[in-house]
Amino acid sequence: MPVDVDALVDRRRLRRKLTFWRVATFIVIAGALIAGLAYVSGASNKRSAHIARIPIEGVILEDRKTLKMIERISKADAVKGVVVSINSPGGSTTGGEALFQALRELSEKKPVVAEIRTIGTSAGYMVAIAADHVVARYNTITGSIGVLFQFGNAQKLLETVGVQMEAVKSAPLKAEPDFYSETTPQVRAMLQSMVKDSYDWFVGLVAERRDLDPAKAKELSDGRILTGHRALEEKLVDAIGGEDTAISWLETEKGVAKDLPVVTWTPNSNLEELPFSARVSREFGNGIGSALINPIIDAKGLIPRGLTLDGLVSVWQASEAADNNR
C-alpha cells in the first residue's frame, strides 16, 4: 500500500501544533492558579494582626481606588499601624491634596508613619507630611515644595508650516493659555494668581504639619531639593532610616506590637469580602486575561505620560518625571 507522504507531514504538523497549544494552555492555567492561590494566601494575611504598607509610587494623580483602599484600611480591625512607603517625584496638586486628606483621616484611627525612599518631592512630600512621623534615607531626595503650571507655545512652528489659528471668545481670558498665540500680561497675571493661591496653601500645610514658623516654612518652600540628612536638619523629616526605622517608631511610640508582619495593600487586591471560591475564580480569570492581554498593554510610548499631568502640578522636573515614571 503506497504511503501518502503529504498526509504524514500534515499529521505531524497538526500533532506538533496540538502539543504546543496543550503545553501553552497548561502553563497559562498553572500560572493563573499559582497567582490566585498566592493572592488568596496574601488576602488571608490581612485578616490577622499586621502593619499595612501603602505604596505611593510614580507620578501622583487623583486615584479613587487608592482613596477607597485607604478608607478600607481605616476600618480594618486587623491593621494595627500603617507605613506609607513613598517613592514619587510628585504629581498633580489635587492628587496630593486628596491623598493628604485621606491619610489625615486615617491617622485619626490608626498610627501612621511615612517612609520616603529614593525620592519624595513636591506632592510626594505633601503626602509624607500627612503622617505623624516622617523617615527618610540619608541620601533621599526630598523637598521641592512649590507649585508649577506648564504650557507650551507652538506659534512659530505653525507659522513655519503655514497654519493660522483663530478663535472667537466670550472674554479675553477664556481658554487661556492656548498653544498658538503669545501669552498676554493679563493671562500671565491670572496664572500667577492661581499658582500663588495653591502655593500659599501648600506652605501653610508644611508650617502646620512640621511645626515651623511660617517665615521659615516659606524660606524652605522656594523649590529647593534636599537630601534626607539636610531635611532632618531643617525639621522637614523626623529621622534617618528605612522601613525598619519607621516600624520601630510605631512599636516604641504608638504601642504597636513587635514583630507584626507587614502586608502591602494595593487598590486592586482587597477582595476579602468575597467568598473563598469567588476569589480563586476571579484570580484564575485575571491570570488568564493577563497572559493574553499584557503583551498588548506593554506596547509603550503611544501616549506620553506627560499628557496626563493636566492643570496645576507639584512635581520635581515635571516632564522628565512623567516620562520616566515606571
| Positions marked catalytic | 122, 174
Distance, CA of 120 to CA of 135 (rounded, Å): 11
Centre a 10 Å sphere on the Cβ of residue 288 and count the other Cβ atoms it contains: 16
* Alpha helical stretches, state H, 76-141: 93-107, 123-128
Task: Provide the CA 323 distance to its chain's centre, in angstroms.
Answer: 14
- Taken in order 66, 53, 37, 48, the sign of the CA dihedral is negative
Using DSSP, state whether 247 is helix, strand or coil. helix
* Residues paired with 313 in a beta bridge: 92, 148
Helix (H, G, I), strand (E, B) or coil at 96: helix
The answer to whether 31 and 285 have CB atoms below 8 angstroms apart is no
**C-alpha distances in Å from residue 278, one per residue of 22, 65, 164, 285:** 26, 21, 58, 11
* Residue 294 grid cell: 499584557
Residue 53 backbone dihedrals phi, psi, to 5 degrees: -105, 125
Cell of 18: 496540538
